[in-house]
């Protein structure tokens, strides 16, 4: 039970993958509800049967849970499904009609065009006073004056009423439109604050008129800014990586994602950006949300993620890597535990763990051709032969392995870095990766020597 009368909602339509912009709206609502001890209602707006799919509803619910918004969390209510409130939507339309605020209309688009001489004039009010009993239902908008929307983010926005046609609230087949269903549900669910994407600002004067016509006080409106890509274009699923799931699957931490998304249009005071949820919540103010477009900077998100990864306690880091490392054939948790700390400082998304440690488990690590060509230049063959020799009886410990390879390189006038390269490629398949000697220690003598021997054979 919530301890205040504040009630917000997140009302996604399950028509595609769950968008990071949706996640940001959900988080703003969630932060506001949590801070005020209010309720957060999840309402799935599933009335567009042709475009909805159950898996998208499931995707929304699981993605929200991933960022901490789930049915066990205090304040959470739902999910409710808009399609189950069809009767209430129709009742709201009937009430508006009974009170003369809405009327039936049988005009087709062509009828309107024929009368007004234009496609763009909008509906001319032809059926307003005809007393028809069938057809679509239109809301009677005021002819004059302005509808003033007070938006917490955008300030006072005025919409001249003469530019607002008598809009349709129920289709000719009796099915209610979004504009009505959305208001009827918000009213029924006693929503006090509507925090949603800017694209809905243009619906807001109509919705405000509906609230008033239904005898209720409109909610507080807050339209949060669009999210744009590097080219300052609105983030789109055709152009950009927008699905929250794809970030999860790539190994972004939910905490980093939440932190980053909260900064799309809002910033804590004092310029500190990396901040855990619990510290952001008490600071969050709808009034402080910025109205200008927010840039989704994937590089910055990666940097955040790297910081969050490095801040994890080691055993947590190991646990979070499990979904990736457990896929590697031959995976051995003990061996992984030996190098995990080294890997933790080097990766920025969890999926990168695989390429960093797979050489420890695979029988034959994938050989990167470019690395091979670069590292196996003269005197690589001699280095490998000498290293094999030096490592045969070495105490198997990183410091000792380093000292021995240093000596091998010195005999050819090579610094350690140069002497390391062929050994690294022979053993790991790549020129970059975890610190070499710790890697060798973790891999063990037998496999290290076998790989050096195999590389020598290939060079011979
Ligand atoms: N179902 C609408 C959408 O997904 C949201 C409407 C709203 O938040 O009012 O765009």
Is the Cβ–Cβ distance between 371 and 431 less than 8 Å?
yes
Over residues 186-218, the pLDDT tens digits come to: 999 999 999 999 999 999 999 999 999 999 999
**CA of residue 271 to ligand 1 center, whole Å:** 31
237 part of the active site: yes
pLDDT surpasses 80 at 16: yes
pLDDT value for 237? 86
Backbone torsions φ then ψ of 337, nearest 5 degrees = -55, -30
Residue 236 and residue 358: Cα distance in Å, rounded? Answer: 35
Q: Is residue 45 in contact with ligand 1, taking CB distance under 6 Å?
A: yes
Q: Which two tokens stand for residue 98?
A: 């009974």
pLDDT surpasses 70 at 355: yes
State the pLDDT confidence band at 3, using cuts at 50, 70 and 90.
low
Q: 117 by DSSP, 3-state: which?
A: coil
Over residues 34-72, the pLDDT tens digits come to: 999 999 999 999 998 888 899 999 999 999 999 999 999
Q: Is residue 439 in contact with ligand 1, taking CB distance under 6 Å?
A: no
Return the ligand 1 atom nearest residue 199 CA: 10
Q: Which residues contact 262 (CB under 8 A, 6 or more apart)?
A: 24, 27, 28, 31, 277, 280, 284
Return the ligand 1 atom nearest residue 10 CA: 8
Catalytic residue among 233, 237, 241, 415: 237
The phi-psi region of residue 250 (left if phi > 0; otherwise alpha if psi is between -120 and 50; otherwise beta) is alpha
**CA of residue 193 to ligand 1 center, whole Å:** 13
Residue 249 and residue 351: Cα distance in Å, rounded? Answer: 8
State the chain's mean pLDDT as an integer.
96
Q: 74 by DSSP, 3-state: which?
A: coil
Residue 241 and residue 298: Cα distance in Å, rounded? Answer: 9
Backbone torsions φ then ψ of 235, nearest 5 degrees = -60, 125
Q: What share of the chain is helix, strand, coil (3-state, %, to 5)?
A: 50, 10, 35
pLDDT value for 50? 87
Q: Which two tokens stand for residue 69?
A: 């918004």
Q: Is residue 52 in contact with ligand 1, taking CB distance under 6 Å?
A: no
DSSP state of 390: H
Q: Is residue 182 in contact with ligand 1, taking CB distance under 6 Å?
A: yes
**CA of residue 127 to ligand 1 center, whole Å:** 30
């Amino acid at each position: 039970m919530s301890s205040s009368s504040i009630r917000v909602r997140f009302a996604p339509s399950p028509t595609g993958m769950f968008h990071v912009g949706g996640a940001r709206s959900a988080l703003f609502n969630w932060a506001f509800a949590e801070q005020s001890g209010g309720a957060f209602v999840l309402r799935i707006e599933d009335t567009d049967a042709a475009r909805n799919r159950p898996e998208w509803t499931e995707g929304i619910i699981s993605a929200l849970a991933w960022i901490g918004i789930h049915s066990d969390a205090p304040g959470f209510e739902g999910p409710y499904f808009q399609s189950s409130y069809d009767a209430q939507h129709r009742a709201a339309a009937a009430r508006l009609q009974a009170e003369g605020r809405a009327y039936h209309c049988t005009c087709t688009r062509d009828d309107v065009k024929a009368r007004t001489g234009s496609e763009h004039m909008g509906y001319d009010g032809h059926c307003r006073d005809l007393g028809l009993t069938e057809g679509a239902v239109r809301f009677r908008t005021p002819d004059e004056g302005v509808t003033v929307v007070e938006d917490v983010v955008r300030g006072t926005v005025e919409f001249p009423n003469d530019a607002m046609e008598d809009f349709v609230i129920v289709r000719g087949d009796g099915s209610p439109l979004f504009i009505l269903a959305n208001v009827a549900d918000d009213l029924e669910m006693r929503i006090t604050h509507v925090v949603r994407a800017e694209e809905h600002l243009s619906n807001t004067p109509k919705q405000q008129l509906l609230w008033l016509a239904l005898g209720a006080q409109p909610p507080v409106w807050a339209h949060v800014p669009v999210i744009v890509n590097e080219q300052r274009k609105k983030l789109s699923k055709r152009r950009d990586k927008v699905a929250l799931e794809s970030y999860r699957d790539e190994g972004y931490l939910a905490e980093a994602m939440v932190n980053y998304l909260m900064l799309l249009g809002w910033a804590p005071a004092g310029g500190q950006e990396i901040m855990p949820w619990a510290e952001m919540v008490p600071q969050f103010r709808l009034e402080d949300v910025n109205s200008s477009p927010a840039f989704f900077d994937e590089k910055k998100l990666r940097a955040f993620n790297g910081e969050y990864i490095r801040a994890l306690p080691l055993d947590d880091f190991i646990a979070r890597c499990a979904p990736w490392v457990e896929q590697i054939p031959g995976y051995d948790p003990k061996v992984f535990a030996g190098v995990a700390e080294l890997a933790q400082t080097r990766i920025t998304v969890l999926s990168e763990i695989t390429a960093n440690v797979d050489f420890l488990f695979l029988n034959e690590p994938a050989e990167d051709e470019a690395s091979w060509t670069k590292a196996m230049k003269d005197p690589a063959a001699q280095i490998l032969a000498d290293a094999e020799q030096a490592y045969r009886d070495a105490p198997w410990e990183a410091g000792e392995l380093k000292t021995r390879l240093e000596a091998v390189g010195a005999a050819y006038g090579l610094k350690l870095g140069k002497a390391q390269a062929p050994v690294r490629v022979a053993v790991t398949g790549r020129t970059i990766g975890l610190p070499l000697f710790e890697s060798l220690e973790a891999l063990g003598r037998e496999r290290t020597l076998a790989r050096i021997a195999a590389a020598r054979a290939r060079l011979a």
